[in-house]
Chains A and B, each alone.
Chain A
Amino acid sequence: MANTATHDHAHDHHDHKPHGLKRWLFATNHKDIGTMYLVFACAMFFMGGAMALVIRAELFQPGLQFVDPGFFNSMTTMHALLMIFGAVMPAWTGLANWMVPMQVGAPDMALPRLNNFSFWLLPFAFTLLLLTLFVPGGAPAGGWTLYPPLSLQAGDSFPLTIFAIHLMGISSILGAINVVVTILNMRAPGMGLLNMPLFCWTWLITAYLLIAVMPVLAGAVTMLLTDYFFGTSFFAASGGGDPVMFQHIFWFFGHPEVYILILPAFGVVSEIIPTFSRKPLFGYESMVYASASIAFLSFIVWAHHMFTVGMPLAGQLFFMLSTMLIAVPTGVKVFNWCATMWKGSISFETPMLFSIAFLFLFTIGGFSGLMLAIVPADFQYHDSYFVVAHFHYVLVPGAVFAIMAGVYYWLPKWSGRMYNEKVGKLHFWLSTIGVNVLFFPQHFLGLAGMPRRIPDYSTQFADWNMVSSIGAFIFGFSQLLFVYVIWSAVRSGEKAADRPWEGAHGLEWELPTPAPYHSWETPPSRAVISQGAMH
């Protein structure tokens, strides 16, 4: 071991790095691993997206035209698993890998080998998951929430799915530990916690959420596994268990998971809006406290996903009130972003456009979230397309737009080259129009009484389903532009300046462009830190 360590040490200095396959297989560099995470996330995004298009193609018209209802259920289940665990979470880890060391003035992540391991678990996890499409009984079709007893009706896909989820969970926990250790131990001297950029803050909080709840998910799916194979009856009423208990355990993981997906988005947007408003972030400290409050509240609202399971009145009231309370810190964030733009000097480059769309559309998702918190109304909304519209508004123009904004924003620093602003803007407009045509009508469908997760519907729902499907195809295919714009930038984009955005502050912009392989080999001086902080 000691030998290997000195060997690596000798070679890793400056830009010496292994070439070819070895560079990636044995990668310990935060940028290489970050790139792999992002490429992996992109691949999963397109695979999950293709499944979404199967869903929307089948729902284009009433009647079953293309797929069997069982396969349709597999598509909704796999779409969710791929998008949540394969696309959004790895994309955030990828961005954390790239940005956290650069933003805190460190040379790399604290635990590089762990970093390698946590990435390389993912291709195996998702190979297992995708293999289920080809096993007898088909891919899991009980919904990504895996509610028993339905999820226990799965065929041979069952153990593969459970093992894949375990691997994803281990990967997330290790990634989260790495972020925590890096942020707490590797900040440059002079950088206090409250000097950190908000992206580091929101990721630090996210990492704690991950460490807290991924083991809960692992426990829940392990109990499913023993119910399936070893005759336990944790969730089988016939053996003294309770199917509802699974839902409590699952959502105790599941609700913080929602904030795991969205908190880093708050961080990215909090970096981009000040840059293009040419003005420091308004209310930095209250943003930090608001993020922490959201994380805390996320642990005590889980049962709002299950208002219809028949809880006691007191329980329903508690979860209604605690859920409504989340609107307060979330509101503080939105108001702070508005105040950041107020009296700024705003320009509209692609990252800013995506952040503005985030602001508008995430707020719409927040409104429908508030409506869903009202228990009596939720008895109508629950498990209808209104819910589908709600969580896609917070996850697509919420989390996904923020990831794209972040990629556009930092790409010049990563690659040393600028993307084509015209194509970037085209990608933005097509995505924004597409996403609204896709998801806004789903509010109408849900309110009019269309349940979610159905492959076919009554003819009264035909019109808006057709509109929604058209939006899905616009949105889906315009994402090819995203790949094109990044590919062409990395290949042949114009050379980018060290600080390509005139309003950009933060340690990452104090590094040369493209960023050196080992970001900060010597920690930045206090002067550089305070110049970078600017808030």
Chain B
Amino acid sequence: MTRHARSALAAAAFAILGGLAPLAAHAEWGNVNMTVGVTELSKEIHSLHMTIFWWCVAIGVFVFGWMIWSLVAFRKSQGAKPDTTMTHSTKAEIIWTVIPVVILVIMAIPAARTLIAIEDTRNTEISIKVTGYQWKWHYDYLGEDVKFFSSLARASDEARQLKSGVNPESVENYLLDVDNPLVVPEDTKVRVLLTAQDVIHAWWVPAFGMKKDAIPGNVNELWFKVEKGKTGLYRGQCAELCGRDHGFMPIVVKVVTKDEYRAWLAAQKPGAAAPADTTSEPAADAAPTVAALPAAPRG
């Protein structure tokens, strides 16, 4: 390759990188990578993702470099003469079989380790049964007698109608907001048992790193443990095509402190004062803790 071609190549590469940089700086445009998340597992998954990504980049630099070098250096228009004797090389074949195998083994080891941790559902502290319906979620806090449906919030539901005339930008958390979020405590190993009533759905909250199918007749499980201090609202969506309104059954998880969780749970139980959106019987003796927490948390 001539010096001229080489510098042209470098200039092109920088132009591409330089052109992308201002885009990435912009807030919405910069939303291009997997979320790090708020659980130990989601962080491990993110770092696994980045590790494989950089391996791919490294292999890509090598392979694409090789291709580009060949395309530039061996141009017929530059008088390149073919070396027709070069037809095979057992040595080269062995090298480019063995090296990828080694790289794959290096990738597989941390992946297997993380996978084993993901599948370890021992010592969970809370179990919640999640049932997928067309097109909403049902949450059942096992052993607590607290259960409710969680559907797309009304503002989003109105805006998402065909030719509604409502600008989605004007709706807060468009399509990612629900009437009754799932409430879970921080720093607690929560087990989610998944099933479905009608068709297959999938429960996915990216910040927890996990996605699993909710299948009629099957019970799947996943777990997450939100790190201490990471209270807040986390949003996700159904991830398995489940019919007409598949795009309109979001998941919102409200992570609260353990104390807040206990108070919330007590307020939800039948017999406690009526929380706004769940249908429990109004009771005379209102639990004193209810006021500490808004009954119908909104995103």
Residues of A with Cβ closer than 8 Å to B? 61-65, 67-70, 73, 141-143, 147, 149-150, 153, 236-238, 241-244, 277-286, 308-310, 313, 316-317, 320-321, 324-325, 327-328, 331-332, 334-335, 338-339, 341-347, 356, 359-360, 363-364, 367, 370-371, 374-377, 379-380, 382-384, 443-444, 447-449, 451-464, 503, 535
Contacts and interface: CB of A to CB of B under 8 A. Distances in A.
26 contacts: A63-B168, A65-B163, A68-B162, A73-B246, A237-B218, A243-B200, A282-B86, A282-B87, A283-B89, A313-B116, A316-B115, A317-B112, A332-B93, A332-B97, A335-B92, A343-B82, A346-B76, A371-B52, A376-B118, A382-B202, A444-B32, A451-B204, A451-B239, A454-B246, A456-B248, A464-B29
B232 interface: no
Contacts of A243: 200, 215-218
The winner among B31, B80, B81, B169 for most chain A CB atoms within 10 A is B31
B189 to A, nearest CB: 17
Nearest to B198: A149
A68 B247 CA distance: 12
Interface in B240-265: 240-248
A483 B32 CA distance: 36
Q: Report, nearest first, the 4 A-B pairs whose CB atoms are least far apart.
A: A237-B217, A454-B247, A310-B220, A444-B32
B186 to A, nearest CB: 21
Contacts of B199: 149-150, 153
B269 interface: no
Given A286-B93, A346-B71, A454-B246, A143 B159 contact: no
Contact of B59 (A339, A345, A367): A367
B289 interface: no
Interface stretch (B4-12, B100-108, B136-144, B275-283): B100-108
A243 B196 CA distance: 11
Given A149-B216, A342-B86, A379 B210 contact: yes
Contacts of B2: none
B187 to A, nearest CB: 22
A361 to B, nearest CB: 11
Given A278-B76, A316-B115, A332 B96 contact: yes
A382 B204 CA distance: 10
Interface string B55-99: 010011001101100110011110011111011110011001100
A316 B176 CA distance: 31
Contacts of A443: 32
Contacts of B80: 343-346
Contact of A459 (B97, B169, B202): B169
B59 A64 contact: no
Contact of B209 (A236, A343, A379, A453): A379
Given A243-B217, A456-B160, A383 B82 contact: no
A158 to B, nearest CB: 14
Nearest to A243: B215
B48 interface: yes
Given A346-B80, A448-B31, A367 B60 contact: yes
A382 B35 CA distance: 15
A335 B89 CA distance: 12
Given A153-B199, A328-B97, A371-B53, A320 B108 contact: yes
B124 interface: no
A459 B168 contact: yes
Nearest to A363: B63
Interface string B23-60: 00000110111110000010011001100110010011
B123 interface: no
B131 interface: no
Interface in B167-199: 167-169, 173-176, 198-199
A244 B248 CA distance: 24
A452 B152 CA distance: 18
Contacts of B49: 371, 374, 377, 380
A329 B219 CA distance: 38
Given A62-B168, A332-B97, A380-B206, A347 B112 contact: no
A278 B74 CA distance: 11
Nearest to B135: A69
Given A346-B75, A374-B107, A279 B83 contact: yes
The winner among B32, B167, B217, B241 for most chain A CB atoms within 10 A is B241
A436 to B, nearest CB: 12
B237 interface: yes
Interface residues of B, number: 96
A227 B248 CA distance: 28
Nearest to A61: B168
The SS class assigned to the A binding surface is: helix
A283 B240 contact: no
Given A279-B83, A279-B84, A449-B35, 15 more contacts: A62-B168, A64-B161, A153-B199, A244-B218, A282-B88, A328-B97, A335-B92, A347-B76, A367-B59, A375-B115, A383-B202, A383-B240, A449-B204, A449-B206, A461-B31
A484 to B, nearest CB: 27
A194 to B, nearest CB: 12
B238 interface: yes
B285 interface: no
A321 B97 CA distance: 16
Contacts of B248: 69, 456
A341 B159 CA distance: 55
Given A360-B64, A380-B211, A370 B82 contact: no
Given A346-B80, A444-B31, A376 B241 contact: no
Given A317-B115, A379-B118, A277 B74 contact: yes
B33 to A, nearest CB: 5
B166 interface: yes
A369 to B, nearest CB: 10
A460 B104 contact: no
Contact of A150 (B35, B200, B211, B247): B200
A380 B209 contact: yes
Contacts of B82: 277-279, 343-345, 503
B233 interface: no
B53 A376 contact: no
Contacts of A279: 82-84, 86
A324 B108 contact: yes
Contacts of A456: 160, 168, 175, 247-248
Nearest to B35: A449
Given A331-B100, A379-B45, A448 B32 contact: yes
Nearest to A329: B97
A367 B56 CA distance: 6
B48 A377 contact: yes
Contacts of A455: 247
